[in-house]
Amino acid sequence: MENDWEVALDSLSKITVFSNPNNEPVTISGDADDLKCIGMGTDAAVFQFLNAPAYAFKIFAKDKVAKVQVEANVYHVLGDSPFFSTCFASYDEYLVLSYEEGKTLFDCILQGIHIPEQVVKDVEDAREYVRSKGLNPRDIHLKNILLQNGRAKILDVSEYSLPGNDFRWEHLKKGYEEYYPLIDGNSVPFWLVETTRKWYNQRSKYFFSYEEFIKIVLNLLHKK
């Protein structure tokens, strides 16, 4: 019996994704009228097929396809959890995931949408759950967390099999606790959010510490 997401396979074959240097988002080549791009990362782009809207298709860049099975395995270990998407299937270049409603925290900051404390608590609980499964919760940032009915849904689990702590979540949590009231309810210009993202990704080159990085960002915020 054909799985109902397989109606999207022909359209998905028309799309090619390419990675870019310096941790920049991927580039998409090709087009299909019945596919809607709903997200872009540094390794993959995510599409919704209009005739099967319950699914999201994460298409990986040509040089990143080894990560497809790695991420599929992580979803298998995580099992059924309210904190994460469901992975239904994996193919050579993409995953079939549950489509999740909501806005990323990145978009919430751009649009001035309130991010409740419950979201932070949910991410903390999700990280504990991940550790209980023998995995390593990392690469958790504004574009990987959805605000969904006042709760958190984490979208990308691709690095959970890697060792080490990238401190992204710890820094984000600290920023929320200490500085979020300064912007809560106010839309923040895209250029400022994007500049902050790029500086953060290259902070080891230009800043001695997290505190120095935050000081520069706050100066920018006061000048906007």
Per-residue pLDDT reduced to its tens digit, 149-161: 999 999 999 999 9
- The CATH number covering residue 74 comes to 3.30.200
Q: Which of 57, 81, 98 is the last residue of a domain?
A: 98
The predicted pLDDT at position 22 comes to 80
> Which residue in 113, 50, 64 sits closest to 93, CA to CA?
64
Mean pLDDT of the chain: 90
Q: Residue 201: is its pLDDT beyond 60? A: yes
pTM over 0.75: yes
User: pLDDT band at residue 1, thresholds of 50, 70 and 90?
Assistant: very low
Q: Is 213 inside any structural domain?
A: no
Q: Is 25 inside any structural domain?
A: yes
Token pair in block for residue 194: 């994007």
Per-residue pLDDT reduced to its tens digit, 57-72: 999 999 999 999 999 9
Q: Are residues 35 and 117 in the same domain?
A: no
Per-residue pLDDT reduced to its tens digit, 169-182: 998 999 899 889 98
Q: Are residues 127 and 150 in the same domain?
A: yes
Domain limits for position 111 = 103-188
Q: Is 147 inside any structural domain?
A: yes
Token pair in block for residue 145: 């967390």
What are the phi and psi torsion angles at 110 (to 5°)?
Answer: -60, -40
Token pair in block for residue 94: 């993409």
> Which residue in 122, 156, 152, 127 sits closest to 139, CA to CA?
156
Q: Is 173 inside any structural domain?
A: yes
Residue whose tokens read 């959805």 = 146
